[in-house]
Amino acid sequence: MAIFDTVLIIGGGLIGSSIARAARATEAASTILMADKSPSVCDAITRLSLADDVSTNAADLALRADLVILCVPPGQMASVAEAVVPSMRTGAVLSDVGSVKGRTIKAIERYLHGGVTFIPAHPIAGTEYSGPEAGFATLFKDKWCILTPNDPDSETATQVAKFWETLGSNIAFMSPERHDIVLATTSHVPHLIAYTLVGTAVDMEAVTQNEVVKFSAGGFRDFTRIAASDPVMWRDVFLENRDSVLEVVDRFIEDLSALKRAIRWDDGDALLDHFTKTRDIRTKIVDAGQDSAAPDFGRQES
Looking at the Cβ atoms of 2 and 232, the one nearer to a second copy is 232
Alpha-carbon span 8 to 274, nearest angstrom: 48
Kind and range of the H or E run holding 109: helix 102-109
Task: Report how many residues bind a second copy under the rule CB under 8 A.
Answer: 110
Binding mask 189-208 for a second copy (x = CB under 8 A): xxxxxxxxxxxxxxxx-xx-
From the list 30, 46, 150, 185, which residue makes contact with a second copy (rule: CB under 8 A)? 185
Asked if 106 is part of the footprint of a second copy (rule: CB under 8 A), the reply reads no
Considering only residues 81 to 100 of the shown chain, the ones binding a second copy according to CB under 8 A are: 99
The burial class, CB within 10 Å (0-12 / 13-18 / 19+), for 279 is: exposed
Question: What's CA 164's distance to the chain center, in Å?
Answer: 14
From the list 93, 105, 124, 161, which residue makes contact with a second copy (rule: CB under 8 A)? 124
Asked if 259 is part of the footprint of a second copy (rule: CB under 8 A), the reply reads yes
From the list 24, 37, 143, 162, which residue makes contact with a second copy (rule: CB under 8 A)? 143
Looking at the Cβ atoms of 155 and 301, the one nearer to a second copy is 301
Asked if 136 is part of the footprint of a second copy (rule: CB under 8 A), the reply reads yes
For residue 113, the minimal CB distance to a second copy (Å) is 30
Looking at the Cβ atoms of 68 and 227, the one nearer to a second copy is 227
From the list 134, 158, 162, 165, which residue makes contact with a second copy (rule: CB under 8 A)? 134
Asked if 296 is part of the footprint of a second copy (rule: CB under 8 A), the reply reads yes
Binding piece for a second copy, criterion CB under 8 A, among 24-32, 57-65, 78-86, 215-223: 215-223
DSSP labels for 43-88?
A: HHHHHTT--SEEES-HHHHHTT-SEEEE-S-GGGHHHHHHHHGGGS
For residue 79, the minimal CB distance to a second copy (Å) is 15
From the list 51, 54, 125, 147, which residue makes contact with a second copy (rule: CB under 8 A)? 125
Question: What's CA 155's distance to the chain center, in Å?
Answer: 25
Beta strands at 121-123 and 144-147: parallel, antiparallel or unpaired: antiparallel
Asked if 268 is part of the footprint of a second copy (rule: CB under 8 A), the reply reads yes
Alpha-carbon span 54 to 37, nearest angstrom: 11
Considering only residues 233 to 252 of the shown chain, the ones binding a second copy according to CB under 8 A are: 234-236, 238-239, 242, 245-246, 248-249, 251-252
Looking at the Cβ atoms of 36 and 180, the one nearer to a second copy is 180
The burial class, CB within 10 Å (0-12 / 13-18 / 19+), for 120 is: buried
Considering only residues 161 to 180 of the shown chain, the ones binding a second copy according to CB under 8 A are: 172
Is the distance from CB of 89 to CB of 31 less than 8 angstroms?
A: no
Asked if 76 is part of the footprint of a second copy (rule: CB under 8 A), the reply reads no
**From the CA atom positions of the chain, what is the Rg in Å?**
21
For residue 112, the minimal CB distance to a second copy (Å) is 26
DSSP labels for 167-211?
A: TT-EEEE--HHHHHHHHIIIIIHHHHHHHHHHHHHHH-TTS-HHH
